[in-house]
Every structure is written in C-alpha cells, then in structure tokens.
Amino acid sequence: MLFVFIVVFCLAAPLWADHVAHTGPNQNHITDKVLVGGQLTDVVAPDGTPLGPGLRGRYLLGADQNGRDVMVRLMYGGRTSIYIGVLAAVITTLLAVTVGVLAGYYRGWIDSVLSRILDVVWAFPVLLLGIALGTTLALGGLRIGGIQIAGDSLWIPILIIGVVYVPYMARPIRGEVLALREKEFVEAAVAAGKGPLRIMIAELLPNIISTIIVFSALNIANNMLLESALSFLGAGVRPPNASWGTMIADGYQTIYTAPHLTIVPGLMIVLTVLSLNVFGDGLRDALDPRAQIRPGR
C-alpha cells in the first residue's frame, strides 16, 4: 500500500511543478548566489562544480552545471517522462488489443499476416529499432498524409515506444483469445446471431480485461525505462525538453564531480518504475481467481 502512495506522489508531484517551483526548469542561474547555512554561496562554483543537495527552500537537490535547479528540473522532467510512458502505453494497449483480438478471433490468413508482422517487430532488437527511429525522425520529423510532427516534438518518442512494445502485449492477448474462443459462451453468442464485432467487444473483451490492465501497468514501467535509455543515447527526448533520461545523460558528463546529477534522476526512475511493478504485481495477485489457503491468523 505504501507503494500506491509513492506512485501517486511520483505521478502527481510533476503536476504541481508549476505552482511550487521558484524558477523555470531551463533557466540558468550560473552567476546566482544562494544562502547556505547563513552564508552566501555560489550556485555554480568558479571551477564549474555546481551546488550539491541540501535542506533548503531553493535548490533542494542542488544545481547542475548550468545553474539550473535540479529539483525543479526533476519535477518538470518527471512530468515529461511520465507523460511519455503513459501515452505510449495507451498506444501500445490500443494496438496490441486490436491486433491480438483480431488475430485470435479470426485466425486463418488474418492471423498469419498479423503474426508475421508481430514477428518482424519482435525480431528487431528493441533498442536498435528505437534508436534508429528516434534519430532519423528527430532530424526531419514525420509526415504522414496531412499530419506533420516536428522532429523535436514529444510525440516522436511516444509513437516509437508505443509501437515497439506491441508484440510483447499482443502475443499473450492473442493466446488468451485463441483459448477463449473455444469456450461455450462464444459458441452460444454465435448461435444467437451476434456479429463478430459484438462478440469481440461484449464477450471476449471483459474476459481479458484483467490481463490487459496488468500488462498495461507493467508496460508503463517498461516504457519509462525505454524512454530513459533512448534519451540517454540522444534518440529520445530532445532539448530543450527535459526528461529524467536526458538529465542522467547530462549529469553523466560530470559524474565524478557532481554525482548527484546522475544519481537523483535515476533514483526517481527506479522509484517510479518500482512502484508500478509492485502495483502491477499486486494487481495480478488480486485478480488471480485461484484462492489460496494462507497461514492462520
């Protein structure tokens, strides 16, 4: 239960950023000074070492080489990371459910075609595919029909991550649909004259909802990890947007002198992803129809 709180916190905190932050995430304060223990200290020391974390109202977690407030960046960056994670998960879920259900229900050539497509995406080394798409799309953006997405828009990583993980979810869903399809209630629905679409929505979907929910929670977690990896390599979120991944990339430059710049955003990712994993796990246990005899109280 503690973890639900952490999830909520991680998800909500970035949303408060606007109200709480004393400065923007991208504002440099290189030459500013701040009160530390009564003494006026440089935000960024003359040798380039930024302020470390400490208990104070501003620069709670220190500053980075450009004098930007880490805590503030963390909140804004977190918003970006979570935003991407969730939206990508929405895309993945929609695509995976559609593909999985169609392939499982119709079987035959539809299944063959869809499964082949899944196989191809699946065979692609995830990171390579993500990076390849990330770097090429970042250059010139995407133009499909009339829709134009700029190279540095957040939608690029969202779409990429959304597509890459579709096979992970679509395959188990397809498997479940294949099994469910053989059950009597589907036969009964067909005999009653219900069309395929109604059967898929009214009969099959409710039965796989628990699988979908659990997978989605875990998918958000994976998405956030992938986003941070892509951003770290420069193929995900692009400046001036910040995400936890880009913050780690930035901090990596000065890891020996200012380790907190690398540690902190990473820690946030770990906590958020961990909470999602615990949540997803707990959800899976709760939805498991097998009751267990537990030790007596």
Partner 1 sequence: MARFAVRRLAGMIAVLFAISVIVFLIFNVIPNSDPAARIAGKNANPALIARVRADLGLDQSLPVQYLTMMKQIFTGQLTSYASDQNVLQHIISGLPVTLSLCVGAALLWMVLAIWFGYLSAVHPGSFTDRSLTVLSLVGISLPVFWLAAILLYYFSFKVQVFPTGSYVPFTEDPLQWLYHLILPWITLAVLYVGFYSRVLRSNMLDVMNEDYVRTARAKGISERQVRLRHVLRNSMIPIVTLFGLDFGAVVGGGTILTETVFNLNGVGLYAGQAIGKLDLPPLMAVTMFGAFFIVLFNTIVDILYAFLDPRIRLGEEAPA
Partner 2 sequence: MSPILRVADLRVSFATDEGVVHAVDGVSFDVNPGEVVAIVGESGCGKSVTAQTLIGLTRSPNATISGTAIFGGRDLIDLSDDELRTVRGAHIAMVFQDPMTSLNPVYRVGDQIAEMIRAHREVSKREALTRAVELLHSVGIPNPERRARDYPHEFSGGMRQRVMIAMALALEPELLIADEPTTALDVTIQAQILNLLRTLNREKNTSVVLITHDLGVVAELADKVVVMYAGQVVEQASLDELFYQPQHPYTWGLLGSIPRPDEIRPDRLPQIPGQPPSLRNPPTGCRFAARCEYVFADCVQPPPLRSGSGIGHLDRCWLSADAKAGRR
Under the criterion CB under 8 A, does residue 286 sit at the interface with partner 2? no
- DSSP letter, residue 295: P
Amino acid (one-letter) located at 236: G
Residue closer to partner 2, measured from CB, 19 or 290: 290
**Size of residue set near partner 2 by CB under 8 A:** 6
Smallest distance, partner 2 to C-beta of residue 278, A:
22
Under the criterion CB under 8 A, does residue 297 sit at the interface with partner 2? yes
Residue closer to partner 1, measured from CB, 35 or 287: 287
Under the criterion CB under 8 A, does residue 289 sit at the interface with partner 2? no
CB 137 within 8 Å of CB 103: no
Residue closer to partner 2, measured from CB, 123 or 291: 291
CB 54 within 8 Å of CB 40: no
Amino acid (one-letter) located at 105: Y
> Which parts of this chain interact with partner 1 (CB under 8 A)?
116, 119-120, 122-128, 131-133, 135-137, 139-142, 179, 221, 225, 228-229, 232-235, 245, 248, 252, 255-256, 259, 262-263, 266, 269-270, 273-274, 277-278, 281, 295
CB 268 within 8 Å of CB 220: no
Residue closer to partner 2, measured from CB, 19 or 294: 294
CB 237 within 8 Å of CB 231: yes
Residue closer to partner 1, measured from CB, 14 or 251: 251
Under the criterion CB under 8 A, does residue 290 sit at the interface with partner 2? no
Give the span between the Cα atoms of 34 and 36, in whole angstroms. Answer: 6
Is the bond preceding residue 259 a cis peptide, omega within 30 degrees? no
Amino acid (one-letter) located at 109: W
Give the span between the Cα atoms of 200 and 194, in whole angstroms. Answer: 10
DSSP class per residue in 145-197: TTEEE-TTSTHHHHHHHHHHTHHHHHHHHHHHHHHHHTSHHHHHHHHTT--HH
Q: Binding string, 134-173, against partner 2, x = CB under 8 A? A: ----------------------------------------
Q: Binding string, 181-220, against partner 2, x = CB under 8 A? A: ----------------------------------------
Q: How many CB atoms lie within 10 A of CB 102?
A: 19
- Out of 2, 128, 191, 293, name the contact with partner 2 by CB under 8 A: 293
- How much of the chain is in helix, strand and coil states, percent to nearest 5? 65, 5, 30
Smallest distance, partner 1 to C-beta of residue 131, A:
5
Query: Which residues of the shown chain bind partner 2 in the complex (CB under 8 A)?
Result: 291, 293-297
